[in-house]
Amino acid sequence: MASRIVEFTLNGRLTEVMVKPLTTVQTVLREQLGYTATKSGCKQGGCGSCTVLVDGQPMMSCLLPAEDIAGQDVVTLEGLTPRDGLHPLQQAFVDNYAAQCGYCTSGMILVGKALLDSNPEPLRDDIIDALAGNYCRCTAYEPIIEAIQDAAGRMAASNGKEAHR
Amino acid sequence: MTTQAYYLPKSVDEAVGLLAEHGPSLLVMAGGTIAMPLINDGISFPERVMGLRRAGLDSISRSNGHHAIGATVTLSRMLTWDEIPLLQKAAHNVGGWAIRNMATVGGNLFAPPPSGDFAVALLALDAQVVLTSAAGQRVVPLNDFYTGFMTTVVQPGELVSEIRVPVPAGQTAYLKFARRETNTPSIVTVAALITLDGQRVSDARLALNGVGPHPFRARRAESRLIGSVLDEAAIAHAGELAAEASDPMDDAVASAWYRRKMIPVMVRRALAQIVAKEASDGI
């Protein structure tokens, strides 16, 4: 079968790609579009380093055929990063030393983003549960959990400021 | 060899039409959490694949005393669906968040042990599987669905379209014993449903996973419980009978010996939970 054109929204921008049958979102992002913040780890759905948000929900891009996301909204770490500076989650990861090799970081931050979008004041257990599918093999999880807690506080504080303006 | 065609049917009719056209050479996939790892690793290299994400099999409804759960309803959705707490508990015991956003109720029936910890709960609930083909539908009890390790009664041309779950009566318990708390393969998983008539058990369903070629019900253990009081002796005996019914395997998670040893322990704990629930409900 010939390749097909798939249209989807990538980080807010309407994107069109030509894909061979069963090409994954991970391959499209990294190899066709050059969005390499999404990592390629186990390709088994087991490590979480390839996590992207599809309509706001974390999914393993290594298991997701590109044709399945036609018309949907995909966010990668590139899309989270503002033009200037860092997203509060990114800044909190820096300030809490939550990254060492950085391979898991993109997935961790995106899961953190999806969590804080649905639950702005997560308990520690909520964070642990949300991160259960994402493996880190060097920083260990404690600074990552703390970074997400920290980011939740920062984002609540800045939302509060805006509300009082 | 790379995949030559990927189909995304927009309806069940279209899906079973494609199955009729291409036969067993067409690999059926829903969430992709079982098929894609094998394809990515080059263990499986299907020429043609059909994805069910857009086939309209993702609704949940209720009729005639049962819940009808579409085959492609995700486990994340089951986590928020609070009609049957046992299924919520089971959904939480599969994968992590991203996997649950992809993995489906129908797909979990095909997850070989030590995966398949959602299907084991469906087994305890006496679920039925609706198989659809171009010729029509047939309904198979989940209990008769498995024929061996990674083999089922699904015939060429058929696909799992719906799971029917009777509205449960009685108390349920779900216990997964594993190396970690979440996102982990099973050593032993127990799903139990007990109905009491006064002090005595009138119906017992004890489903196990991780300790056989597929999720299965420990029938002799169930028979031992029916008609008896849920006391220590009955529970211990049921645990032994469940262990006898098992056929566990050695893998990287646990040895067959250890798995078998843990069956009576987990059966006892699951039934103890039910005894405790009954006691607190009775107050």
A8 Cα to chain B: minimum distance (Å):
15
Beta strands (DSSP E) in A11-81 are 13-19, 51-54, 57-60, 73-75
**What's the domain count of chain B?**
3
Would you call A131 an interface residue with chain B, using a CB distance cutoff of 8 Å? yes
Is a pLDDT exceeding 80 seen at residue A116? yes
Report d(CA A134, CA B222) in Å as an integer: 39
Arithmetic mean of pLDDT, A12-25: 98
Would you call A41 an interface residue with chain B, using a CB distance cutoff of 8 Å? no
CB-CB: which of B6, B76, B98 is closest to A22? Answer: B6
pLDDT > 70 in chain A, percent: 97
pLDDT band at A1 (very low <50, low <70, confident <90, very high): low
Give me the CATH number covering residue B241. Answer: 3.30.390.50
Same domain, B107 and B162: yes
Which residues 50-79 of B are in CB contact (within 8 Å) with A?
51, 53-54, 76
* Domain membership of residue B233 as a residue range: 171-282
> What pLDDT is recorded for position B44?
94
Is a pLDDT exceeding 90 seen at residue A165? no
Amino acid at site B215:
P
| Beta bridge pairs of residue B209 | B189
The pTM score is: 0.96
C-alpha closest to that of B229 among B206, B253, B198, B256:
B198
Contact: B96, A1; criterion CB under 8 Å: no
Mean pLDDT of chain A: 96
> What pLDDT is recorded for position B281?
80
Is a pLDDT exceeding 80 seen at residue A161? no
According to CATH, the topology of domain A4-80 is Ubiquitin-like (UB roll) (3.10.20)
Same domain, B176 and B141: no
Same domain, B247 and B175: yes
Determine the 3-state secondary structure of B115 from DSSP.
coil
Write the burial class of residue B91 (CB in 10 Å: 0-12 exposed, 13-18 middle, 19+ buried).
buried
C-alpha closest to that of A63 among B37, B63, B275, B129:
B37
Q: Which of B131, B166, B201 is the last residue of a domain?
A: B166
Report d(CA B186, CA B188) in Å as an integer: 5
Q: Which of B120, B151, B166 is the last residue of a domain?
A: B166
B169 Cα to chain A: minimum distance (Å):
30
C-alpha closest to that of A104 among A11, A41, A25, A62:
A41
B51 Cα to chain A: minimum distance (Å):
8
Compare all CA atoms of chain A with the CA of B47 and give the residue at the minimum distance: A21
Give me the CATH number covering residue B30. Answer: 3.30.43.10
ipTM over 0.90: yes
Find where tokens 């994107």 sit: A15
Compare all CA atoms of chain A with the CA of B95 and give the residue at the minimum distance: A133
Report d(CA A85, CA A81) in Å as an integer: 8
User: Domains of chain A: which residue ranges?
Assistant: 4-80, 88-164
Q: List chain B residues with pLDDT less than 70.
A: 1, 282-283
Just give the CATH number of A88-164. Answer: 1.10.150.120
A28 neighbors A17 (Cβ within 8 angstroms): yes
B4 neighbors B46 (Cβ within 8 angstroms): no
> What pLDDT is recorded for position A140?
84
Would you call A2 an interface residue with chain B, using a CB distance cutoff of 8 Å? no
- Tell me the chain B residues in contact with residue A20 when contact means C-beta distances shorter than 8 Å: 2-3
- Tell me the chain B residues in contact with residue A132 when contact means C-beta distances shorter than 8 Å: 96-97, 181-183
A164 Cα to chain B: minimum distance (Å):
34
Would you call B2 an interface residue with chain A, using a CB distance cutoff of 8 Å? yes
Q: Which of B134, B166, B198 is the last residue of a domain?
A: B166
